[in-house]
Amino acid sequence: MTQHNNFSNSQPEYSAQPNSREIDSLGILLHRMINRIRQSLELSVILSATVAEVRAFLNTERVKIYQFEADGSGEVVAESVDQQKLPSLLGQHFPAEDIPQEMRELYLKERQRTIVNVASRKIGMSSSANSEKGAKIHFRAVDPCHAEYLMAMGAQSSLVVPIVDADRLWGLLVSHHSVPRIVTKNELEVVQLIADQTSVAIAQSNLLESTRVQAQQEAAINRVGQFLHSMTQMQLQQALKQTVLALQGSGGRVYIAPQNLESESQLVVSGEQPLLLATGEGNGQSLIPLEKHPSWQVWLKNTLQVNRVVLPWAIADFDLHSLPSDWDSAFKPTKIKSILTIKLEYRQKTLGYLSIFRQGIDIETIWAKRPDRDDPRNQFPRQSFEIWRELQQNKARQWTNSEIELAQNLGSHFAIAIYQYQLYQQIHTLNTSLELKVQEKTEKLQQANQKLVQEISDRLKTRASLERLSHQNKLILNSAGEGIYGLNLQGETTFVNPAAAKMLGYQIDKVQNQPMHEIVNHSTAEGMVYSWQENPIYQTLQTGEVHYVTNEIFWRKDKSSFPVEYVSTPIKEKGQIVGAVVIFKDITERQIIDRMKDEFVSVVSHELRTPLTSIRSSITLLSSGRIDLKSSKSQRLLEIAVDNSNRLVRLINDILDLERIKSGKVTMFKENHNAADVITDAVEIVQSIAEKAKINISVTPLSVQLWIDRDRIIQTLTNLISNAIKFSPPNTVVTLDAHLQSDGTVRFQVKDCGRGIPPENLETIFDRFQQVDASDSRDRGGTGLGLAICRSIVQQHGGHIWVESVLDQGSTFCFTLPTGH
Ligand code: ADP
């Protein structure tokens, strides 16, 4: 039912000008009312005070304040009513068409006040916007519908004054009376003044409210901020929880987009969440968060277009906007009814999204009339205002501007914190990777260094051992008594040791690189030089065979020669013959010794054969039976056999004794003995022989300690004294004395006055079987071994023995011995 504004002839429907007393009381009344209205800053208190004061002032039956919603509908938000007369309308909603748009515009632009008298069917219009017009009230006939409408509410008389807040029609101050009533101009102006005061109070209250909201928002921002901007680490989870609380959401989440291709996205959630979305097909199917789904960006774009808002926020109220179809599986199973998403941006970079979710709520609206348009009763003027409760269940709750503002504000804090955190992470990663790189490099360097040190040390060790080896080789080669030389395949000298050079009479460098065959002139044992190709060493170089040669001759530089034995061995490298090494020995001495041995054997056999021949011939004669065994001749033959047997025994004993002493098989048991005792003992042994030969032995004893094998020295002395007796004429003297010499040795002398020894025999008589005269052995019973035995004994004591002699005058045999300790 629409209210019409048909202006008509104006008629006085209000009282005349008040007198001065009335004005005074009005002033006081006004002052009191305004005071009361302004006592509180709470809107509900202000509005209640306003309606109460206005009703008391006008003395009408119902005064209400009607507040407009954004869509033009409205609600009775304050009321003072005499319920005896009129019903209460408090809390009832009225649809937008009840007060049509043009009427609302008049209320706003003209600040039009209306006074309706239903009985007289008159409506008075008075504009307060124009001061000239302000004084006048223009009357005309009221629209019948309007009159019906008022009557339905039980009112016969009404006064309506607009309440304007900051160029917005905030609401209406309405007075109803069940009987016709005249409104005076003063009353109108007073109510206007009160409406104006109410406007001011509403503005102040709004200011207070917005200050409160601001304070709450600041508190919320502080709470969230303390988690986001803590120096130690970003506590996203707690910050998000506080954000959800501050925005009265049922849940929320922060999606942090991957920073680069390698990094992962991050999702922090709190409270109720949409489910993950499937993407891809078959085996490649995976579950991803909403923000990663391709439809997210499309939704953002579309929603922003619909809302005609600029980034960075977007809203989806599921009642108003349909979600992308892919999202059904994410939201359908949940109670979420709306989303507020804030794009987290910093320095033109999208870092992610902050989303807050809300569940649906039940909204109850009390309507002042039935919404059923098809109900025929609605075609007629309304008879009463039966109330009707509208209950809307699970509806998305609107996001208010201040909530969006708060979310945006919080979003920017999230963005800054995330940006800083990522920056910090990058720096940290850089630092860590730098440290790691430095560490890796250092480790590699250390390893390389260790390896180098090891290599150097190994090389040094190898070099040292090589040097040692080469030094040892050099020492061995230098010390070797054998001559050693190396040859290459051509037979040229590549190496020669000092012994070889010395034996050949060359400097080492003079034989280097020279064909050795031309240097030594290989010859047969007989001295016949033969060709290189016939040489066994040449054969070694050709075939790799080892050759032992025992009887060849090498020639020295000075054209002299010496007998050699040598071995030639191939030098091989990886199985290939590259040369030969020849080790040779000068065998001159060995050949002499061999000769001496041969001679010794022939001498010994000769010496042994002589007595044996005598024995054999004597025994042969005796055994022939031709001689009477009891005859003196056979007796003589037996004596010869016995003498020669004794001689044979002596010979064999002496030979064995000498050989044992010379070869060191007889050990000298050395002890301290006094020289005087030794001399005395020796003389005692030979005393009887001397007496038989009528020789006098003269002794000069020397008391000095000797370090000797006593028996062997007595053997030496007795041998020398026996010889002296043997070769001395009777009635001569043999002198035996000893002297301590300056070098610490003791010199013994056995002197005779015999036949003497020719000078050429002075040395030889000390050799085996050497006698001055061949008859000496036969005539004097000697073996020719005594002096050789003496020399061996003296040498085993570290001394030496010799003879000084003048023919026909005598000989003096001398020897030295070491003194004892
Ligand atoms: P033997 O006396 O048994 O023949 P020796 O070795 O003792 O053997 O002596 C070797 C030789 O030296 C003697 O045969 C002798 O010709 C000579 N000879 C040794 N002693 C004397 C000496 N005092 N005067 C002269 N000739 C000596």
Kindly give the distance from the C-alpha atom of residue 783 to the centroid of ligand 1, in angstroms, as a whole number. Answer: 9
Kindly report each contact of residues 52-58 with a partner whose C-beta sits within 8 Å and lies 24 or more positions away, as own/partner.
52/80, 53/194, 54/80, 54/173, 54/175, 54/191, 54/194, 55/80, 55/81, 55/82, 55/175, 57/29, 57/33, 57/187, 57/190, 57/191, 57/194, 58/159, 58/175, 58/183, 58/187, 58/191
pLDDT of residue 688: 92
Which pLDDT does position 93 carry in this prediction?
87
Cα 720 to middle of ligand 1, angstroms: 9
Supply 43's token pair: 């809107």
Two structure tokens written together for 355:
């989303």
**Cα(610) to centroid of ligand 1, in Å?**
19
Contact 108, 162 (CB under 8 A): yes
Q: 356 pLDDT exceeds 80?
A: yes
Looking at ligand 1, which residue's alpha carbon is closest to its atom 21? 723
CA dist., res. 124 & res. 161, Å (int): 12
Mean per-residue pLDDT over the chain, rounded: 85
Q: What is the pLDDT of residue 684?
A: 94
* Nearest atom of ligand 1 to the alpha carbon of 752: 23
Q: Pick from 650, 655, 771 the residue to mutate for probing ligand 1's pocket: most ligand atoms within 8 Å of its CB.
A: 771
Tokens of 451: 């390896």
Q: What tokens were used for 118? A: 């239903």
CB-based contacts of 143: which residues, under 8 Å, 6+ apart?
A: 2, 3, 4, 5, 6, 123
Would the pLDDT of 687 be above 80?
yes
With cut-offs at 50, 70 and 90, classify the pLDDT of residue 27. Answer: confident
Q: Closest ligand 1 atom to the C-alpha of 772?
A: 16
Question: Is pLDDT at 14 greater than 70 in this prediction?
Answer: no
DSSP 230-253: -SS---HHHHHHHHHHHTT-SEEE
Least confident of 135-149, 581-595, 775-789: 775-789
- By the 10 Å C-beta count (0-12 exposed, 13-18 middle, 19+ buried), 608 is classed as middle
**φ, ψ of residue 65 in degrees (nearest 5):** -115, 125
> pLDDT digits over 516-533, tens only?
999 999 999 888 889 999
Pull the structure tokens for residue 701: 């004893």
Average pLDDT over residues 798-808: 95
Lowest mean pLDDT among 289-303, 341-355, 631-645: 289-303
Bigger pLDDT: 336 or 313? Answer: 336
Instruction: Give residue 699 CA to ligand 1 midpoint distance, Å.
Output: 21
Of 787, 808, 811, 813, the one to substitute when testing ligand 1's pocket (max ligand atoms within 8 A of C-beta) is 787
Instruction: Give residue 692's pLDDT band: very low, low, confident or very high (50, 70, 90).
Output: very high
Residue 133 has pLDDT above 70, yes or no: no
Band of the pLDDT at 310, cuts 50, 70, 90? Answer: very low
pLDDT range class, residue 554, cuts 50, 70, 90:
very high
Looking at per-residue confidence, does 298 or 529 come out higher?
529
Q: How far apart are CA 758 and CA 26, in angstroms?
A: 191
Q: Which whole number is the average pLDDT over 429-445?
A: 86
Which residue's alpha carbon is nearest to atom 9 within ligand 1? 784
Residue 130 has pLDDT above 70, yes or no: no
The minimum-distance atom of ligand 1 relative to the CA of 754 is 24
Q: At 306, is the pLDDT very low, low, confident or very high (cuts 50, 70, 90)?
A: low
442-489, pLDDT tens digit by residue? 899 999 988 998 888 888 888 888 888 888 888 888 888 899 999 999
Please give the number of the atom of ligand 1 that sits closest to the Cα of 810. 24
Asked whether residue 691 carries a pLDDT value surpassing 50, the answer given is: yes
User: Given this model, what pLDDT does residue 782 score?
Assistant: 74
Q: Map residue 420 onto helix, strand or coil.
A: helix
Q: Is pLDDT of 744 > 60?
A: yes
CA of 651 to the centre of ligand 1 (A): 15
Nearest CA to ligand 1 atom 8: 784
- For residue 1, what pLDDT band results from cuts at 50, 70 and 90? very low
Task: Give me the mean pLDDT over the 62-88 stretch.
Answer: 90
- Which residue, judged by its Cα, is nearest atom 13 of ligand 1? 771
Percent of the chain with pLDDT over 90: 35
Residue with CA nearest ligand 1 atom 23: 724
Nearest CA, atom 20, ligand 1: 723
Q: Is the pLDDT of residue 344 over 50?
A: yes
Residue whose CA lies nearest to ligand 1 atom number 2: 782
Mean pLDDT of the 811-820 span: 94
Q: Binning pLDDT at 50, 70 and 90, where does residue 112 land?
A: confident
208 token code pair: 């207070």
Q: pLDDT grade, residue 490 (50/70/90)? A: very high
Question: What are the tokens at 205?
Answer: 């209250």
Q: Look up the pTM and report it.
A: 0.46
Please give the pLDDT value at position 377.
Answer: 40
Q: What is the pLDDT of residues 97-111, one digit of tens each?
A: 888 888 889 888 888
Ligand 1 centre distance from Cα of residue 724 (Å): 8
Distance from the alpha carbon of residue 602 to the mean position of ligand 1, in angstroms: 21
How far, in Å, CA of 222 to CA of 240, rounded? Answer: 13
Is the torsion defined by CA of 724, 729, 730, 735 positive or negative?
negative
What is the arithmetic mean of pLDDT over 599-626?
Answer: 85
Confidence at residue 780, expressed as pLDDT on a 0 to 100 scale: 66
> What is the tens place of the pLDDT at every residue in 412-426?
888 888 888 888 878
pLDDT at site 312 = 57
What contacts 613, CB < 8 A, 6 or more positions away? Answer: none
Q: Going by C-beta distance under 8 Å and a sequence separation of 6 or more, which residues neighbour residue 612?
A: 644, 648
- Helices 43-58 + 185-228 axis angle, to 10: 170
pLDDT at 218 over 90: no
For atom 7 of ligand 1, the residue with the nearest CA is 786
Rounded Cα gap, residues 483 and 506, in angstroms: 12
Burial of 267 (0-12, 13-18, 19+ CB in 10 A): middle
Q: Output the pLDDT for position 177.
A: 92
Residues with CB under 6 A from ligand 1: 723-724, 727, 752, 754-755, 757, 765, 771-773, 776-777, 782-787, 811
pLDDT at 525: 86
The answer to whether residue 9 scores a pLDDT higher than 60 is: no
Contact yes or no for 129/110 (Cβ under 8 A): yes
Residue 13 has pLDDT above 70, yes or no: no
When pLDDT is cut at 50, 70 and 90, the band that residue 7 belongs to is very low
pLDDT at residue 8 is higher than 60: no
> From atom 11 of ligand 1, which residue's Cα is the shortest distance away?
771
CA of 654 to the centre of ligand 1 (A): 15
Which band of pLDDT confidence, cut at 50, 70 and 90, is reported for residue 135? low
Q: What distance in Å separates the CA atoms of residue 135 and residue 36, rounded to the nearest whole number?
A: 27
As a whole number, mean pLDDT of residues 552-566 equals 93
- Taking residues 668-681, what's their average pLDDT? 93
Work out the average pLDDT over 7-29.
54
Atom of ligand 1 nearest to the CA of 785: 6
